[in-house]
Every structure is written in C-alpha cells, then in structure tokens.
Amino acid sequence: MNGIKDALVITKRQLLQLTRVPEVLIFNTIQPVMFVLLFRYVFGGLGAGIKGGYVQLLMPGIFVQTVTFTLAATAQGLAQDMEKGLIDRFRSLPIARSALVVGRTLGDGLLNIVVLIVMGAAGYIVGWRPTSGPLHIFLGFLTLLFFGYALSWAGIFAGLMSKDARVVANVSFLFTFPLTFLSNAFASTTSMPRALQYFAEWNPVSTMVAAARQLFGFHNTFGVTAHSFPSEHPIVASFIYMVLIMSIFIPLSVNRYKNANRR
C-alpha cells in the first residue's frame, strides 16, 4: 500500500506541474486538434466511397496516433527529470523504488484523458459520428487510454536509458512515427505494396486502430492478412499486445531505475 501511496504522490506532483507550466497542457491538446483539422480538410478527398466520409475512418487513427506519442512524451519528460537530478533527490527519501516510474505513467495517462476529450469534441465538430452506442464508445476511449498507458512503460525505459532529453525525444519519435504512418491509421493498407502490407497490418498500432474503429462502429478493411487473428479479433489482439508490452517493459524499467539509483 505504501508503494501505491508514494506513486500517487508522484502523480500529483506531475499534475501540479501542469498548473505551473500550462503551456505543456496547451501544446498537448492543440497539436492533436491540428492533426484532426489537417487530415480532415486536406485529405478529406480520400473518403470517396467511405460510408460517412473520411472523417469516420480518420478519427480512430488520430486517437491512436496521439496515445502512441505518449511513449515519446514520457521518455522525454523522465529524461528531463534525470537531467535535473530528480532521481538523486528521490533516492534520499523513504519512498518505494518504483514510485517515480509508476507515478510518471499514471500522470501521463491522466493527461491523455484531457487530450482525448478535446480531440473527441473537435472530431464531433468536423463531422465524426460514432454509431456503436454509449457503452461501446466509452469502452473505445478506455481501450485507447490503456494502450497509451502500456506504451508509456516503453517510454519510461527509453527515458531511463539516456539522460539527454533531446536524444531520447529524437529516438522515440523515430520509433513512433513509422509505427503510426506505416499503419491503417490514415488510409487503407490495401493500397500499399504487398510486402509492406504484412508489416502495416501486424503493426500493434494498426491492430489498435482496428479495435477503436470496431468499438466506434466503423468497418475495417484488411489486405493480405484479412483472415489473420488480429484482423478478425482486433480488440482481443490489442489487449494481448498491451499485456505483452507491459510484461516486457515494466520489469525492465523498474530494474533500470533501481540500477540508476545505485550510481
């Protein structure tokens, strides 16, 4: 129980930082809205033949892209804390070893709630209309939050691997950009070269996008992997990916943090 209390204290600290540096919250909400407007009106012509228009295909992809970028935000934020000597200060306190990393992931998860609410409102304004009913819509957003939380643990590990926030940010975005753009987030994978379709359709981001579309009431289209388990059961496959990501990066992150404390 003490470990949970310690983690919640760290989470509170992170949220209080948003009140002191509101630009962080503003930037984190404005950037996704800009993506919504950009793709909705610049690439809206891609929606020919799509029931409800391109915005119905787009919004789940934008949601997933945004929570995927949690990885980079978490990594950079933790690396900045390390540069300031935060780990050394926390080492002198009688708190659980895992409190800092757990609190960081919880704080970023709560920030995603605000971001998704703002994005959902923006999507509704530009014509996005989920058709699956309130319960499925709620489960859709809940699944998105869980996906972002799972990826934040990969961000924790990346942030602990380097004390230079600039390097961590660049490396993290080099990882997240291919995952989001080589996926089904913004266009059907059927137009991609056949070899690339295999990567795009087995990509965890594509699986999460397919799960979000299904929960929001939109039909998915797959190419060469149309009869694979992720394509036919994207919600279950997404949770498998999330559990797998956390089972790998939670132990690695906690162990890395403990080792950093010993320096």
The confidence score (pLDDT) of residue 141 equals 96
The confidence score (pLDDT) of residue 178 equals 84
How many domains does the chain divide into? 1
Q: Which domain holds residue 62?
A: 2-261
Span 197-234, pLDDT tens digits: 888 888 999 999 999 999 999 888 787 887 888 888 99
The confidence score (pLDDT) of residue 144 equals 96
> What band does 260 get if pLDDT is binned at 50, 70 and 90?
low
Q: Which of 22-31, 82-91, 218-227, 233-242 has the lowest mean pLDDT?
A: 82-91
Residue range 76-92: average pLDDT? 72
Span 86-136, pLDDT tens digits: 666 666 666 666 777 888 888 888 889 989 999 999 999 988 999 999 999
How open is the CA angle 85-86-92, to the nearest 5 degrees? 100
CA distance 28 to 231: 31
> What band does 254 get if pLDDT is binned at 50, 70 and 90?
confident
Span 185-194, pLDDT tens digits: 888 888 788 8
Per-residue pLDDT at 263 exceeds 60: no
The confidence score (pLDDT) of residue 240 equals 96
Considering the entire predicted model, what is its pTM? 0.87
Residue range 30-46: average pLDDT? 78
Q: Which of 2-11, 107-116, 143-152 has the lowest mean pLDDT?
A: 2-11
